[in-house]
Structure 1
Amino acid sequence: MNWNHLTAKDQIDQIKLSSADKPVMLFKHSTRCSVSGMAENRLERAWNAKEMASMDIYHLDLIKHRDISDYIAVTFDVPHESPQVLIISDGKCIYHNSHMGIAYHEIKRVFESLTTV
């Protein structure tokens, strides 16, 4: 996966704007959590770049950037969890899941529902 790395709060504001043109996925990862490592690995192994070419994807190391994770929770009105995946469209979180609920087929289903309207 070709992750864009979240390292500043102002990127979240830009993501809200850019999500008007195409969906954005955020993956919040804890480097201290084995479940987070498994979720990240499962997602990376299943990811099909051709199928998801028009979705921007972002990776947040929430140990280094807990402030950004908290900002995401407030901005998109979702509880903080780790690991966690969010899909942003038109400036809003339209899907989120965490832990072993993070699955490529679900992300793809949501993505396809946005692109086949």
Structure 2
Amino acid sequence: MAEKKKIETREQFDELAKKESFLLIKHSLTCPVSGAAFEEYESFLEDHGDINTAYLAVQEARPLSNYVAETYNIKHESPQAILFKNGEPVWNTSHWKITSDSLSTALKS
């Protein structure tokens, strides 16, 4: 299983952005929909141990969450999944659309 890496700073994000591809999850600690999406993310990780991935807790990393939204012109949502390739977002989805299957499909495209 891939390591669930929690990030909280722009520096940590910038390190990830140097990778060929990575999946970022924006997660709310208080939202039941976000909790369900995070469980789907964890399920996805069980089958994709080789993916570079990280998550941020919106309540604990609001500046980072805003930075990602503003820098990449992706409207902030929570929960939200964003797939980056070569430093650019190539896919994103939110809320109930975050499933283990949708994450797997995004990786293949």
User: What is the aligned counterpart of 1:24 among 14, 22, 25?
Assistant: 22
Letter aligned with residue 105 of structure 1: D
Gaps of 5+ in 1: none
Distance in 2, Cα, partners of 1:109 & 1:38: 19
Aligned structure 1 segments of 4 or more residues deviating by more than 4 angstroms: none
Out of 94, 98, 116, the residue aligned to residue 90 of structure 2 is: 94
Query: Aligned residue for 1:39?
Result: 37
Q: Which residue of 2 aligns with 1:56?
A: 52
1:48 CA displacement: 4.8
Aligned counterparts of 1:85 and 1:58: Cα–Cα separation in 2: 10
Q: Which amino acid aligns with 1:74?
A: E
Report the CA distance between 1:112 and its aligned residue: 2.0
Partners of 2:8 and 2:45 lie apart in 1 by 25
Superposed CA RMSD in Å reads 1.5
Residue type of the alignment partner of 2:7: L
Aligned mates of 2:37, 2:62 — CA distance in 1 = 19
Unaligned runs of 5+ residues in structure 2 are none
Give 3-state SS (helix, strand or coil) of 2:18's partner.
Answer: helix
| TM-score using structure 2 length | 0.89
CA distances 1:53-95 after superposition (whole Å, capped 9, x unpaired): 3311101011011111001112222010000010010111111
Equivalenced residue count is 108
Question: In the alignment, is residue 110 of structure 1 matched against residue 109 of structure 2?
Answer: no
Question: Which residue of the other structure, out of 65, 72, 79, is the alignment partner of 1:76?
Answer: 72
SS at 2:89's partner residue? strand
How far apart, in 1, do the equivalents of 2:87 and 2:53 lie? 15
C-alpha separation in 2, matches of 1:26 and 1:43: 10
Counterpart secondary structure, 1:5:
coil
Aligned to 2:14: 13
